[in-house]
Amino acid sequence: MSSFKRDKKEEEDGGGNPFQNIEKTAVLQEARVFNENLINARKCTQILTKILYLLNQGEQLGSTEATEVFFAMTKLFQSKDVILRRMVYLGIKELSSVANDVIIVTSSLTKDMTGKEDLYRAAAIRALCSITDATMLQAIERYMKQAIVDKNPAVSSAALVSSLHMTKIAYDVIKRWVNEAQEAVNSDNVMVQYHALGVLYHIRKSDRLAVTKLVAKLTRMSLKSPYAVCLLIRIACKLLEEEDTANDSSLFDFIESCLRHKSEMVTYEAAHAIVNLRKTTSHELVPAISVLQLFCSSPKPALRFAAVRTLNQVAISHPAAVTACNLDLENLITDSNRSIATLAITTLLKTGAESSVDR
């Protein structure tokens, strides 16, 4: 009976799951199919998925094994199947650190990134940048600059994000792409704007004057992307913290104005920023605290958590300012999320008077 039960359990688990009990050697053996003249896209995609799955489970490939698979994989560029091609890009990214001579695919990827098929271009840029080194970057620089200002948001984002990754190996080259990034900041696309701002800031962050100018310009033009606004708030905070004089009113006013943004993500970011600024006076805290107070009764646990955690931090330096929220915090003591309840209790201990302890 027990064996029957186990069989049934195994059947339930393994039935239709092609990834149960696969072995590295067997999959590597299967990968030889890649070298055949006629490519069966479905089958090859399946095998590639198995390889990626194995690697993701923590299986290690030796450099010879990896190189062998890598080279077999390059044969798959002959196929026109979109999913297969995209899986090949993933394989390239995954194996680029282990296999030797990975630059062999440079020309194939360059062709894909400049080709007509939009579904390939963005992904090809990211794969290409994962195998490119500082010297090779010069060869593709022209294409990268074009890609950053491309009309297709996915392509533009891919190029911007890849540039940011590559500043680690070739800062001097990426530095020259400022104009393109500047253009991308004006994009209508939420993500492109965010990525462009991230790249611009990273390139300029050692030049204080340039950052000040950048922030001054962007705070005036009201960014569309909530992600970009969050990032801008953080940059503004950094400038405020570095300044020796009193709070620069225009920067602080910008952060305060974000408390009224329509996205919760931004209002929370602004409130968090204001309460954590070193020079915030207790008077300036008030609007930020009321935003957090509102979040305390939100139906979303993440929002309640964020609010009570920030209030907990304020309670250390300005316990008086938090007392206004005591009632809301008391309601959170019985919250179903234990982290929220704990945070509420510790905050109350810092702010609460005897009367609330009794309850």
Q: Is residue 255 involved in binding other proteins (CB under 8 A)?
A: no
In DSSP notation, 109-143 reads: HHHHHHSS-HHHHHHHHHHHHHH--HHHHHHHHHH
Q: How many residues does the chain have?
A: 359
Let me know the angle formed at the C-alpha of 119 by 58 and 223, rounded to the nearest 5 degrees: 95
Output the six-digit token pair for 99. Answer: 């296999």
For residues 105 and 122, which CB has a smaller minimum distance to other proteins in the complex?
Answer: 122
The distance of closest approach from Cβ of residue 354 to other proteins in the complex, given in angstroms and rounded to an integer, is 27
261 binds other proteins (CB under 8 A): no
Name the nearest CA neighbour of 163 among 151, 179, 152. Answer: 179
Provide the minimum distance between the beta carbon of 194 and other proteins in the complex, in angstroms, as a whole number.
8
Per-residue contact track with other proteins, 320 to 339, x per CB under 8 A?
----------------xxxx
CA-angle at 113, arms to 81 and 231, nearest 5° = 115
| Span interacting with other proteins, options 1-9, 13-21, 95-103, 175-183, rule CB under 8 A | 13-21
Name the minimum Å distance from CB 318 to other proteins.
Answer: 9
* 66-125 binders of other proteins (CB under 8 A): 82-83, 86-87, 90, 119, 122-123
CB of 115 to other proteins, least distance (A): 16
Name which of 290 and 356 has its Cβ closer to other proteins.
Answer: 290
Question: Which tokens go with 324?
Answer: 């206004």
Cα-Cα-Cα-Cα torsion 110, 115, 118, 123, nearest 10 degrees, comes to: -10
CB nearer other proteins, residue 39 or residue 230: 230
User: Counting contacts by CB under 8 A, is residue 306 touching other proteins?
Assistant: yes
Query: Helices (H) and strands (E) in the chain — how many of each?
Result: 21, 0
* Cα(228)–Cα(274) distance, integer angstroms: 18
* Nearest residue to 237 via CA among 272, 285, 187, 277: 277
**Which residue from 98, 251, 277, 292 is in contact with other proteins, where contact means CB under 8 A?**
277
Smallest gap from residue 264 Cβ to other proteins (A): 6
Of these, 128, 158, 258, 289, which contacts other proteins (CB under 8 A)? 158
8 Å CB contact between 343 and 309: yes
**Near other proteins in 126-145, by CB under 8 A:** 126
Q: Exactly one of 121, 195, 204, 261 binds other proteins (CB under 8 A); which one? A: 195
Nearer to other proteins, 140 or 340 (CB): 340
**How many Å separate Cα 198 from the centre of its chain?**
11
**Site for other proteins contains 201 (CB under 8 A):** yes
Residue whose C-alpha is closest to residue 217's, from 185, 262, 257 = 185
Of 119 and 349, nearer to other proteins (C-beta) is 119
Closer CB to other proteins, 40 or 317, in the complex: 317
- # chain residues binding other proteins, by CB under 8 A: 71
The sign one gets for the Cα dihedral 21, 49, 39, 26 is: negative
Count CA atoms closer than 13 A to 281's CA, side-chain side.
Answer: 6
Contact 214, 204 (CB under 8 A): yes
- Name residues contacting other proteins, limited to 168-187 (CB under 8 A): none
Site string for other proteins, 46-65 (x = CB under 8 A): x-xx--xx--xxx-------
Please identify which residue in the block is written with the tokens 């994989």: 73
Q: Among residues 181, 204, 272, 292, which is the contact residue for other proteins, using CB under 8 A?
A: 272
Token pair, residue 29, equals 């053996």
Binder to other proteins among 8, 111, 165, 260 (CB under 8 A)?
Answer: 165
Query: Binder to other proteins among 24, 43, 75, 234 (CB under 8 A)?
Result: 234
> By three-state DSSP, how is residue 71 classified?
helix
